[in-house]
Amino acid sequence: MAQTILKVGNFPLPDELFVELRKRADFYDENTLSATERLETRANTDIVLGSGGTVFQEADFATCPRLKGIVCYSVGYDGIDVAAAVKRNIFVTYAPDTLNDEVANTAMMLLLCCTRQAKEAQEYIEQGKWLHGPAYPLTTSIDGKKMGIAGLGRIGKAIATRAKAFNMEVGYYGRQQQAEVTYPYFASLKDLAAWCDVLMLVMPASAENTHCVNAEVLAALGSQGFVINVGRGSLIDTEALITALETGQIAGAGLDVFEHEPEVPAALQHLPNVALLPHLGSATVETRARMTKLVLRNVDAQLQGKPVITPVPGTRKQ
């Protein structure tokens, strides 16, 4: 009997991954099914294919009595109820180490776009202002500045390596100090913000982290400080950020993620001291190819009754 893989969530799937999954099992995209078809398909689903934006909670597990595992085409799994999966002995996999460097590159690009005012400088040319002068105003260097990284995991460490290459000092904040890390550790996000010139956010979404960058933290960052977010949009209190940018309480912001994406507040779109990206962090051909290979390895392991390659910590391997 053929096994069934069900794609849950609204995310693009590379043609190669689609073709390969169809070779391995009966494959369905829930977005193409009627409500009745969804229930019928879920009842026969063995593997759910999800992403960072997929929501799969307690009630969803109840609709999938045959479910053996959830394979995430992403590093994030914020919307997956991992505790419910563990309770049912269902594995959950993710795609660690496939996109660390690309997200780190994106973080540095956002930082440079903010500090060197890339968007504004291009508009200066497009509007013909360079032809008549005066010269474009001086911008800010990151050389010798301090970067405070909130979330020194794999991606955070890749960003730190790049920051050091730009001759920046690095400090970090996290749930606990890492014994093997020599960068200075700060026990609170506010203390980190007060120390640094650039507050780099790389933390995952959680109830504890929601709006952890609030008005108080932004005030500590100060009028010469920049905040860059390549973690999750919910980390920042968006209204507090807009106020801080509009009043000059901070110097600028670079954002790849948003609290209610793809919706982006108009105020952010029109501010001159903001660099925005539509969640491009890891969106390169090369990164997606690595993620595709890892997803297929995890799917193949399950179909062959072998331990999965990259289980989410705390979930089963086989």
Does residue 204 have a cis bond before it (omega within 30 degrees)?
no
Residues 218, 190 contacting (CB under 8 angstroms): no
pLDDT in tens, 247-267: 999 999 999 999 999 999 999
Class of domain 4-98+285-303: alpha beta
Give the residue from 71, 63, 127, 120 showing the smallest Cα distance to 94: 71
- pLDDT tens for each residue of the chain, 318 residues long: 689 999 999 988 889 999 999 999 999 999 999 999 999 999 999 999 999 889 999 999 999 999 999 999 998 888 899 999 999 999 999 999 899 999 999 999 999 999 999 999 999 999 999 999 899 999 999 999 999 999 999 999 999 999 999 999 999 999 999 999 999 999 999 999 999 999 999 998 888 999 999 999 999 999 999 999 999 999 999 999 999 999 999 999 999 999 999 999 999 999 999 999 999 998 999 999 999 999 999 999 999 989 999 999 888 665
Q: What angle do CA 77, 81, 84 make, to 5 degrees?
A: 140
263 as an active site residue: the answer is no
Domain residue extents for the chain: 4-98+285-303, 100-276
From the candidates 42, 102, 232, 259, give the one annotated as an active-site residue. Answer: 232
232 as an active site residue: the answer is yes
Is the torsion defined by CA of 178, 182, 188, 189 positive or negative?
negative
pLDDT in tens, 94-129: 999 899 999 999 999 999 999 999 999 999 999 999
Please give the sequence-ordered ranges of beta strands (E in DSSP) within the chain, or none if there are none: 4-7, 26-29, 47-50, 69-72, 91-93, 146-150, 169-173, 185-186, 198-201, 226-229, 252-255, 274-276
Asked whether the whole model's pTM tops 0.85, one would answer yes
Class of domain 100-276: alpha beta
30 as an active site residue: the answer is no
From the candidates 279, 290, 297, 316, give the one annotated as an active-site residue. Answer: 279
From the candidates 120, 169, 261, 316, give the one annotated as an active-site residue. Answer: 261
